[in-house]
Amino acid sequence: MIPQRTRVVCIARGPIELASRVSAVDLCVISISCRFRPVVVLLGIVGLAACRPSAEECTAADTAQQNAQSPPGAAKAPDVRPDLSGCKRTGIASVYADKFTGREMADGTRMNPDADNAASRTLPLGTTAKVTNLETGQSAEVTIQDRGPYVKGRIIDLSPATAREIGLDLQDGIATVVVAPIEVPLPDGGVKQGAAAGDRTR
């Protein structure tokens, strides 16, 4: 039985030939806290579902994202469940308006227009993600610290600094982006590696 304080991190993927002809596996490191000494175990054969978002998780996450488009207070607005899948998704990014500068965000910190703070309705607070502008190809890493946006079709709010970093025209205020989670905090205190875990921008 694996202790509660266990973290699984994918580090590689490659072909391994066995009698059962396993074509591809993920190599994962399990870091187990045993009293005061961390123990690292290398697993050579781990199912993809243990380390990467599964197709079922991504489908469920897409449904949750669609449900999250109803503004607060809307009639029969569906419940918004946290997206713990780590799957990437495509949608519209918008930019925090100037009036939100200095306002308290959902995690209790103040919105900083020059920082990497971002807002999502479904990604857990503390999630780090890679945001790529599909028009310019430019990317930036953000941290989810707030809730929003509440406009249909929009999946993330960015600070003005992040918007400039990915080439989003502040006058237009919106762009089509791909949001790929890097690390997703889990309710049990663990961390799930997302679709962009091996492709950090910094």
The string of pLDDT tens digits covering residues 183-193 is 999 999 999 99
User: Is the residue at 131 inside a domain?
Assistant: yes
Round to whole Å and give the CA distance between 131 and 141: 6
Task: Verify that 37 and 87 share a domain, yes or no.
Answer: no
| Residue 20, pLDDT above cutoff 50 | no
> Quick one: 112 and 138 in the same domain?
yes
Q: What pTM was computed for the model?
A: 0.68
Q: Does residue 10 lie in a domain region?
A: yes
> What is the rounded distance in angstroms from the CA atom of residue 65 to the CA atom of residue 84?
12
Distance CA 88, CA 132 (A): 11
As separate numbers, helices (DSSP H) first and strands (DSSP E) second, the chain gives 3, 10
Q: Cβ distance 61 to 82 under 8 Å?
A: no
162 Cβ neighbours under 8 A, 6+ residues apart: 116, 118, 131, 140, 142
Q: How far apart are CA 167 and CA 175, in angstroms?
A: 9
Separation CA 45–CA 160 (nearest Å)? 44
Task: Kindly report which listed range (12-26, 40-54, 115-129, 146-160) carries the lowest average pLDDT score.
Answer: 12-26
Whole-angstrom distance, CA of residue 132 vs CA of residue 177? 5
Residues 136 and 177: beta-carbon distance below 8 Å? no
CATH number at residue 89: 2.40.40.10
Instruction: Evaluate whether residue 156 is within a structural domain.
Output: yes
Same domain, 30 and 130: no
Q: Which residues pair with 131 in a beta bridge?
A: 140, 179
Both 100 and 115 in a single domain? yes
Note the pLDDT of residue 202: 64
User: Are 120 and 139 contained in the same domain?
Assistant: yes
Q: Is 100 helix (H, G, I), strand (E, B) or coil?
A: helix
Same domain? For 46 and 61 the reply is: no
Is 1 within a domain? no
Side chain identity, residue 84? L
Q: Answer yes or no: is 200 within a domain.
A: no
For the cut 60, the answer to whether the pLDDT of residue 163 exceeds it is: yes
Quote the number of domains for the chain. 2
Residue 76 inside a domain? The answer is: no
- Residue 180: domain span: 55-71+82-193
